[in-house]
Amino acid sequence: MVEVSTSILNVKKGEESATFFELEAAKTDYFHIDVMDGKFVEKDTYKKMFEYASYIKRISNLPLDVHLMVQDIDETIEEFLSLEPNIITFHLEACKDKKDVMKKIKHIKQNNCKVGIAIKPNTKIEEIYEFLPYIHMCLVMTVEPGKGGQTFLNEMVNKIDQLNKYIQEKNLETDIEVDGGINLKTAPEVKKAGANILVAGTAILMANRFEEIIKELKK
Ligand code: DX5
Ligand code: ZN
């Protein structure tokens, strides 16, 4: 089954209430919350994303899929745990070492939350292998993290395929999420390669009818 996680990064202030309402009616499976700190990536979306996520938490039963593009992961985890998200994903590149990665995984799980690890386009897929048995999801970035509306990097299809094969081979249950430049053109190839959660911001928010595009992406 393929699920859709709608990135609310570029939802304009003042339009959030109507947009979230409509996205829920259109059956998005998750709300994808892009937390940026101005350090790990240039932009700082921390306040806006915390505000939006808190609001969604109050008005919706749909799960929050929190993507942390931050350097100070531990501090941010604490804040976002207060919103009881379904899953918190942090970047492998922002961790000190392997011990640090395991510590973060354990901490999030101890707080009754699922864990994901994200990798940037230049990070080798092999680097995630040893953590796969302990996490729920691997987020393969299909653009450089930092902003919405970028072009999908075609080279990432092989990476997804390789990860999917490894997961099957090892009999793991890990979800594969893809994020960046996902639209009706790029969705078929990432699904074919094995991705089962598609993040989309621009493609959904710019569409005339959310319901139709979400349905198409899931097909
Ligand atoms: C990029 C973010 C993505 C992005 C998705 O750093 O992690 O979630 O906003 O947006 P689109 O679908 O526009 O690429
Ligand atoms: Zn994201």
Active-site annotation, residues: 34, 179
Longest pairwise C-alpha distance within the chain: 47
Return per-residue pLDDT of the chain as tens, 219 residues: 999 999 999 999 999 999 999 999 999 999 999 999 999 999 999 999 999 999 999 999 999 999 999 999 999 999 999 999 999 999 999 999 999 999 999 999 999 999 999 999 999 999 999 999 999 999 999 999 999 999 999 999 999 999 999 999 999 999 999 999 999 999 999 999 999 999 999 999 999 999 999 999 999
177-208 pLDDT, tens digit per residue, is 999 999 999 999 999 999 999 999 999 999 99
Q: Whole-angstrom Cα distance, residue 183 to residue 48?
A: 25
- Choose one of 153, 199, 206, 213 to mutate for the ligand 1 pocket test, by most ligand atoms within 8 angstroms of C-beta: 199
Q: Whole-angstrom Cα distance, residue 41 to residue 141?
A: 14
pLDDT at 157: 98
The helix (run of H) or strand (run of E) holding residue 169 is helix 156-169
Q: Whole-angstrom Cα distance, residue 183 to residue 113?
A: 29
Atom of ligand 1 nearest to the CA of 146: 6
Ligand nearest to the CA of 184: 1
Q: Please give the distance, rounded to the nearest whole angstrom, from the Cα atom of residue 14 to the centre of ligand 1.
A: 21
pLDDT at 90: 99
- Choose one of 31, 36, 150 to mutate for the ligand 1 pocket test, by most ligand atoms within 8 angstroms of C-beta: 150
Number of neighbouring beta carbons within 10 Å of residue 211: 14
pLDDT at 16: 96
Q: Please give the distance, rounded to the nearest whole angstrom, from the Cα atom of residue 178 to the centre of ligand 2.
A: 9
Ligand nearest to the CA of 181: 1
Pocket of ligand 1 (CB under 6 A): 7, 9, 32, 34, 67, 143, 145-150, 179-182, 199-203
Fold type of domain 3-218: TIM Barrel (3.20.20)
Nearest CA to ligand 1 atom 6: 145
Q: Whole-angstrom Cα distance, residue 145 to residue 80?
A: 19
Atom of ligand 1 nearest to the CA of 67: 7
Atom of ligand 1 nearest to the CA of 10: 9
Backbone phi, psi, residue 106, to 5°: -60, -45
Full-prediction pTM beyond 0.75? yes
pLDDT at 62: 98
Nearest CA to ligand 1 atom 9: 148
Q: Whole-angstrom Cα distance, residue 44 to residue 38?
A: 4
